[in-house]
Amino acid sequence: MEAFFEALLGGLVLGLIYVAIAVGLTIIFGTLRLVNFAHGAFYAIGAYVGLVIAQRIGVGWAFIAAPIAVALFAVLLDRLVLRQFYDKEPTAQLLVTFGIALVVEETLRLIFGATTQQYQMPDALQGSVSLGFFTYPAYRLLFAGGVILMLALVWLFIERTNYGLIVRAGIRDRVMVQLLGGNIRQASTIVFALGAAIAGLVGAAATPIYSIDPATGFAFLVPSFVVVVVGGLGSFWGAVLGGLLIGELQSLTNLAYAPASNVVIYLCMALVLLLRPQGLLGESEVIRQ
Amino acid sequence: MTTSTAADAAPAVSARPSLLWRDVRFTVLCALGIALFPFVLHPLGGYSTLATQIAIVSIASIGFNLLLGYAGTLSYGHAMFYGGGAYIAAILMLRAMPQHPNLWLAVGGATLGTLVMAVLVGAVTVRLYGIYFALLTLAFAQMVYFIVEQAKDWTNGDDGLQALPNALLPIGPWNLDLTTHLPAFPLGPFGDLSDLRMWYVFAGICLLLVLLLFRMLTRSQFGEVLGAIRENEQRSSLIGFNAPGYRLAAFAISGALTGFSGALRGLFDGTVPVDSLSIDRSGSFVIYTIVGGVQTLFGPVAGTAVIMWLENVLSAKTPAWRLIEGLIFVGVIVFLPRGLATVLRQQRDKNPRALFVRSLRPSTEEPDPLLKAAGEGHRGGVMSIIETFKLGKLFGHFAAVRDVDFRVDPGELRAVIGPNGAGKTTFFNLLSGTIAPSDGTINYKGRDVSRLTGTARVHQGIAKAFQTASIYPDQTVRQNCRLAALAKVQGAFALQVFRRSSRLQDVDALAERAMARLELTGVADVRAGDLSHGDKKRLDIAIALATQPQILLLDEPVAGMSKDEARKTEGLIRRLATEMTVLVIEHDMEMVMGISDSITVLHQGTVLATGTPEQIRNNPRVQEAYLGGHSQAELAG
Amino acid sequence: MSAPAESPAAVATRLRVDKINTYYGDSHVLRDISLHIGAGETVALLGRNGVGKTTTLKSIVGWQKPRTGSITLDGEELVGRDMMTIARKGVSLVPEERRIFTNLTVAENLKIAQVTARKPGWTLDHVYEKFPRLRERLTHKGDEISGGEKQMLAIARALLQDVKVLLLDEPTEGLAPLIVREVENVIQEIKAAGITTLLVEQNLYSALAVADRCYIIDQGEVKFEGTPEEVRENEDIRRRYLHV
């Protein structure tokens, strides 16, 4: 029983990481029509920046520096390389972002080495919390709460601010936004930076739980793509639903029959692509190129 | 036929010796290159082991290139074939023949196994396109990876299979041990012949054979059609090629070649690591092929050689070797768009200045026997050639077409007109099979074809020309027409991987006729993308014509043309209508009134009136529809 | 081709289109199209479908850039500029498909027009006054309202911004006769408010009722320029260019 609840909460934590990455992926796709295979790099850069700052200065600063650093990197990447690929076919985007992911991963490996690293949370946050009949690490709960809060803020931004209004309208009809004088390009850049920052922040925050090595970014990215496919490309709630679903599926399968835990998520992805390619909450326009 | 056309410039006998010479020359040069390669590599810091590995992996890259470069499809899961082949070969060696390891059986079994795997996976994946296809192949590859990793009893899990027995290659009475070295023969700075083992000779021969096979394949009829589908799938389907079938075949061949390569590698290395199934492995094929140059025969080989050599050399000198590899890859994608453009099917014409080349041949007045045979059931035929009953199409809640009862007799030239939102193009798409009806039926020559695909309908005799000319911009005009004729002659699918389409005389003849009918013979050898707008539109019609249709659907054939071009095209269409049934959607009323035998007016998705031009002119309801629902009287008052 | 009507020098030209040629790929859709609209005028662009009326509007707003020719707004050149810039200068297109943001509510559709506006046009109250139906539908999503309401919303959206030239593409298309009447009234109100308007309409009756001047386009060329009376009286012109 205890193991079950642990797995459930573990699935939630894992799922929330997927949600954070997937939300970034999906809103970037919605506004920019860009398939970003380099999104895992944002996670990884955030994690390493967080690591360095946490070890040198302090954990609190890490959570501020990481998203800012990643956002800056994202904007630079956009200006220098990705801009030319917005109108190209998704497979071209997949290829170039895959290449960028590779370059980033290797650069991180050169700088930080291949070993897995971690930093410790301050003592106050270590230790476990009692949840009735079992205990659970305090930081993980805090992490989960923090990610939920962050997602709520993102949701508020998209749903309740003027900028978010332009973003949402742009996801549906870029041209009409421009015909109304809206600056879709600026909104798109902001969305890109935001999506990256989310991944970076989560990267920094998740390191005490999952550790970081240069391959971690990509390791989280691939299941996040599964999430995006399952939830539906372009759908915020799809990313949320998909992320939690995949996270729990992975965690619970690991408990029930460990060898299948990775296979099952790809099976899920394959089934969705075959039976309902637009995903659970997505729209059926993007299937044919 | 004795009248002169280009088909008479027979390539048949006199050209064959030169083709044969080119093949021999190619084979010899390749063999030489492969033979010299390890020695060239030697001073550059490579060893025979590396040379052998490069030769083996190149085979997989060539296989991958068939899919990416020639079929235009990106797979992110080819590691499942590479690693799959390796594991199957290794497991066969360890379990099926531990006492008598036989290379043929191991490799043969692996190749067969991966072929079956590729057919099964392909059958399921080829329905999807682009990024969804790539992601689905990734998903399958990941599943295979994790299953293999977990099936420890068979595969040793994370440790991979190791210490494979030495494979013997039975040839005739001998059992060749491929690990034996070649006899000693010093070659100065290039090492010694004995550096090489028999493995390299074997791998080199395999590579040579694969190169020859691939060369033949890409020039074959199969390869020609595959290329056409890559260049313009929409057009290819609507001249009668079974696009998903071709992509499946390409996927299967590609997978089998990759599996073959993986098997060789596993047996050569003596170990099969679980990474051979990883995403990184899948990614490596992408990198080798893109860096080397897609759509070329040697590109994948060059790319594999360069990258693997770099890895080998640089990994000893600097830990940044993978970074350099990544930078090269990104650099190629960003700075060499032309190379990528053809892979990734960008069809935008790069040349905005069209070449205004006019056709020089006067058109013949006599009806063409070939076309005449196709246009059976002339005027006065009893049965309608196309008849629809209560035809309807819903898009969501919107009824683009509803309750359409439509009839046209063989040999008629019927114009379909109507004000905004009439549903004309949707109606045509229903007739051509591009979309399926929501209600009602379509009868063609008395048979219900409502459920028939567009591709099948072309073979029945229903051909369409598009509103925006859908052609093969990188091929010549002649080749455009030949492709359509080929579809007619060979059928929807033909696995002719050995023979060329040029042996089919009918194809050339049909293509020449089609070009002549649309007065394009003068530009037969011009690249289609460089044609003027008017010529492109006429080419689109010629393509449809080359499929020997009995009914031709023309969607706005003169749109965007100048007055002169429009009138000329009008004349050509009128002549075509003497041979077959022609349906035309047009907004140019002068043309419509001028050439139509009869006119159908659609309004808000349904038939408003059908009649002769005179009748339509005098029909007040038609005028009202065009004026937005008001009568002439209302207007005046 | 009928002689162009002499316009009195008093009305300043607000928008001038001068010999534009627009292509879709290689397809030469607009051939040397020229027209002008005076400040406060309502000009109708008539012709059958497929002749280039919508493309003309798209060329003006920068959606489909002309290859040659010039388009000036109060003397300022627009050709070559992007959609956002042209919209911000006050050239506002209400497209043929209306293009309501179906994932936003009616209120949000109105809001976004206010958010993106350089300068405000009508106030929200004024809009509710002229389009009372919209006030009742504020919380409905864009795809949950009727065709007529969508048209009203699309026009209201444009009016919330400071409009120098309003381009209406087939505003009455696909609407029931009663709603057509409502839209016609709205267009009359817009005219009364002095807003310079270029109206593309296939509904000849509606167009002639509100236009000060008309252009007729056929196969990408201007074939006629004149007053509504001239169109009403000329059966031959109508037959050749407007119906069959």
Position B595 scores a pLDDT of 93
- Chain C residues whose beta carbon lies within 8 Å of the beta carbon of residue A181: 84, 87-88, 116-118, 161
User: Cα–chain-centroid distance for residue B349?
Assistant: 18
The residue of chain C with its CA nearest to that of B557 is C27
**B157, two tokens:** 């899990």
At the top level of CATH, the class of C13-96+165-241 is alpha beta
Among residues B514, B548, B582, the one where a domain terminates is: B548
Domain ranges of chain A: 20-214
Between A64 and B353, the higher pLDDT residue = A64
DSSP states of C98-165: ----TTSBHHHHHHHHHHH-SSB-S-HHHHHHH-HHHHHTTTSBGGGS-HHHHHHHHHHHHHTB--SE
* Cβ within 8 Å, pair C26-B616: no
Residue type, B545: L
Answer yes or no: do B413 and B265 share one domain. no
- Tens of pLDDT, residue by residue over A179-216, are 999 999 899 899 999 999 999 999 999 998 888 999 89
Across the range A167-176, mean pLDDT stands at 91
Quick check: B333 and A277 CB within 8 A? no
Of A284 and B130, the structure prediction assigns the larger pLDDT to B130
Distance CA B588, CA C29 (A): 13
Q: Does A149 touch chain B if contact means CB atoms closer than 8 Å?
A: no
Mean pLDDT of B36-58: 87
Closest among B79, B105, B137, B125 to B259, alpha carbons compared: B79
Looking at the structure, tell me whether residues B543 and B554 fall in a common domain.
Answer: no
pLDDT for position A129: 80
- CB of A99 within 8 Å of a chain B CB? The answer is yes
Question: What percentage of chain B reaches a pLDDT higher than 90?
Answer: 58
Total number of domains in chain B: 3
Across the interface, whether the CB atoms of A175 and C101 are under 8 A apart is answered: no
C115 and A CB contact within 8 Å: yes
Whole-angstrom Cα distance, residue B552 to residue B569?
A: 15
DSSP B222-233: HHHHHHHHHH-H
> For position B130, what pLDDT does the model report?
81
Distance from CA of A222 to the nearest CA of C (A): 29
Q: What residues of chain C lie within 8 A of the CB of B563, using their CB?
A: 219
B352, B421, B623: residue with CB nearest C243: B623
Distance in angstroms between the alpha carbons of the first and the last residue of chain C: 18
Any CB–CB contact under 8 A between A122 and chain B?
no
pLDDT computed for residue C203 by the predictor: 87
Q: How many CA atoms lie within 13 A of B635 on its CB side?
A: 26
The shortest CB-CB distance from B130 to any of A89, A260, A274 is to A89
Edge to edge, what strands does the sheet with B439-444 contain?
B398-408, B386-395, B439-444, B447-448
Q: How far apart are CA C167 and CA B157, in angstroms?
A: 68
Residues B144-170 have a mean pLDDT of 85
Are B505 and B606 part of one and the same domain? no
| pLDDT for residue B345 is more than 50 | no
**B448 in the same domain as B508:** no
Q: Which is nearest to C17 in space by CA: C46, C47, C50, C43? A: C43
- Flag whether pLDDT at A73 surpasses 70: yes
Average pLDDT for chain B: 85
Using pLDDT thresholds of 50, 70 and 90, give the confidence band for residue B361: very low
- In order, the DSSP letters of C188-210 are HHHHHTT-EEEEE-S-HHHHHHH
Sequential DSSP letters for B2-32: -S--GGGS--HHHHHHHHHHHHHHHHHHHHH
Sign of the CA dihedral with B519 first, then B522, B528, and B529 last:
negative
Angle at B46 between CA B42 and CA B47, to 5 degrees: 85
C157/A180 touch (CB, cutoff 8 Å), yes or no: yes
Residues of chain A contacting residue C59, judged by C-beta atoms under 8 Å apart: none
CB-based contact, C153 to chain A, within 8 Å = no
Q: How far is B95 from chain A (nearest CA, A)?
A: 24
C151 contacts chain A (CB < 8 A): no
Residue B448 has pLDDT above 90, yes or no: yes
Closest by Cβ to A180, choosing from C102, C104, C113 = C113
Q: C99, A181: Cβ pair inside 8 Å?
A: no
H runs (alpha helix) in B126-240? 130-150, 152-155, 198-219, 221-231, 233-237
| Mean of per-residue pLDDT scores for chain C | 91
* C169, containing H or E segment: strand C165-169
Q: What is the dihedral of CA A165, A167, A168, A170, to 10 degrees?
A: 120
Domain boundary (B516, B548, B580) is at: B548
Residue C151 near residue C178, CB atoms below 8 Å: no
Q: Which of A216, A225, A266, A275 to mutate to test the interface with B (most CBs of B within 10 A)?
A: A266
**Is residue B396 one of the residues assigned to a domain?**
yes
This model of the complex carries an ipTM of 0.92
Whether C112 and A178 lie within 8 Å, measured CB to CB: no
The shortest C-alpha distance from B636 to chain C (Å) reads: 6
Query: Chain C: residue nearest A164 by CA?
Result: C112
Mutation to test the B interface, candidates C214, C219, C229, C235, most B Cβ within 10 Å: C219
Report which of residues B186 and B91 the model is more confident about: B91
- Asked if C92 has any chain A CB less than 8 Å from its own CB, the reply is yes
Of the candidates B74, B135, B329, the beta carbon closest to that of A273 is on B135
- Subunit contact B290:A95, Cβ cutoff 8 A: yes
Using a CB–CB cutoff of 8 Å, tell me whether A129 touches chain B. no
The pTM of this model reads 0.87
Among the partner-chain residues A103, A106, A263, the one whose CB lies closest to the CB of B146 is A263
Decide if B535 contacts B520 (C-beta within 8 A).
yes
Whether B136 sits inside 8 A of A274 (CB atoms) is yes
Q: Which residue reads 């997927």 in tokens? A: A18
Residue B102 lies in a domain: yes
Q: Is B428 helix (H, G, I), strand (E, B) or coil?
A: helix
Look at strands C27-38 and B462-465 and give their pairing.
Answer: unpaired
Provide the pLDDT for residue B264. Answer: 95
pLDDT of residue B365: 39
Residue boundaries of the structural domains of chain C:
13-96+165-241
Would the CB atoms of B323 and A107 count as touching at under 8 Å?
A: yes
Task: Give the range of the structural domain holding residue B211, as residue numbers without chain letter.
Answer: 16-343
Nearest to B626 among C174, C240, C243 (CB): C243
| B127's tokens | 């329905």
The minimum CA-CA distance between B281 and chain A, rounded to whole Å, is 13
Residue B141 lies in a domain: yes
The pLDDT value given to residue B635: 66
For chain C, how big is the Rg over CA atoms in Å?
17
Question: Mutate which of A177, A180, A185, A283 to disrupt the C interface (most C C-beta within 10 Å)?
Answer: A180
Do B568 and B539 lie in one domain? The reply is no
C128/chain B closest Cα distance in angstroms: 29
- Do B337 and B424 sit in the same domain of this protein? no
Q: Given an 8 Å threshold on Cβ–Cβ distance, is A182 in contact with C115?
A: yes
Residue B433 has pLDDT above 90, yes or no: yes
The answer, for A256 touching chain B at a CB cutoff of 8 Å, is no
Check residue C227 and give its pLDDT. Answer: 95
Contact in structure between B141 and B76 (CB atoms under 8 Å): yes
pLDDT digits 0-9 by tens, A257-279:
888 888 999 999 988 888 888 88
Q: What is the pLDDT of residues B236-283, one digit of tens each?
A: 999 999 999 999 999 999 999 999 999 999 999 999 999 999 998 999
Determine which of A249-253, B14-18, B128-132, B240-244 has the lowest per-residue pLDDT on average: B14-18
The answer to whether residue A56 neighbours chain B at the CB level (below 8 Å) is: no
Please identify, among B287, B317, B343, the residue that sits at the C-terminal boundary of a domain: B343
Chain C nearest C-alpha distance from B620 (Å):
10
Q: Rounded CA gap, A188 and B356, in Å?
A: 42
Give me the count of residues in chain B: 637
Round to whole Å and give the CA distance between B344 and B69. 8
Chains that touch A (3 or more CB pairs under 8 A): B, C
What pLDDT is recorded for position B632?
65
Answer yes or no: do B391 and B530 share one domain: no
| Cβ-based contacts of B344 with chain A (< 8 Å) | 88-89, 91-92
pLDDT score of B190 more than 80: no
pLDDT in tens, A86-133: 878 888 888 899 999 999 999 999 999 888 888 887 777 778 887 777
Question: Residue C132's Cα: distance from chain center in Å?
Answer: 22
CATH number for the domain spanning B147: value is 1.10.3470
Helix (H, G, I), strand (E, B) or coil at B393: strand
The amino acid sitting at C33 is I
Distance from CA of C126 to the nearest CA of A (A): 19
Nearest CA in chain C to B559: C27
Low-confidence ranges of chain C (pLDDT < 50): 1-3, 9
Domain with B621 in it: what CATH number? Answer: 3.40.50.300
Q: Above 80 in pLDDT, residue B380?
A: no
CB contact under 8 A, B421 and C174: yes
B209 and B293 in a single domain? The answer is yes
Residues of C in contact with A175 (CB under 8 A): 63, 83, 99
Smallest CA-to-CA distance from A223 within A268, A253, A162, A180 is with A268
pLDDT for the residue numbered B596: 95
Q: Which residues of B327-336 are buried (b: 16+ CB within 10 A; e: fewer)?
A: bbbbebbbee
Alpha helices in chain A, H assignment, sequence order: 2-32, 39-56, 59-80, 90-112, 138-160, 162-172, 174-179, 184-210, 216-231, 236-256, 261-275
Res B384 pLDDT > 90:
no
Q: Are residues B560 and B542 in the same domain?
A: no
Which residue would you say has higher pLDDT here, B320 or B252? B252
- Cα distances from C173 to residues B491, C96, C159, C238, in angstroms, run 45, 8, 20, 19
Q: Is C117 part of the contact surface with chain A (CB cutoff 8 Å)? A: yes
Residue B207, both tokens:
């590579």
- What pLDDT, in 10s, does the model give residues B466-516? 999 999 999 999 999 999 999 999 999 989 888 888 888 899 999 999 999
Claim to verify: residue B166 and residue B302 sit in the same structural domain: yes
Contact A110 B279 (CB under 8 A): no
The pLDDT value given to residue B397: 81
A29-33, A100-104, A111-115, B115-119: lowest mean pLDDT where?
A: A29-33
Kindly list the residues from chain C whose CB atom is less than 8 angstroms away from the CB atom of residue B416: none
**Is B268 within the bounds of a domain?**
yes
| Cβ atoms of residues C131 and C152 within 8 Å | yes
**Residue among B139, B322, B345 minimizing CB distance to A89:** B345
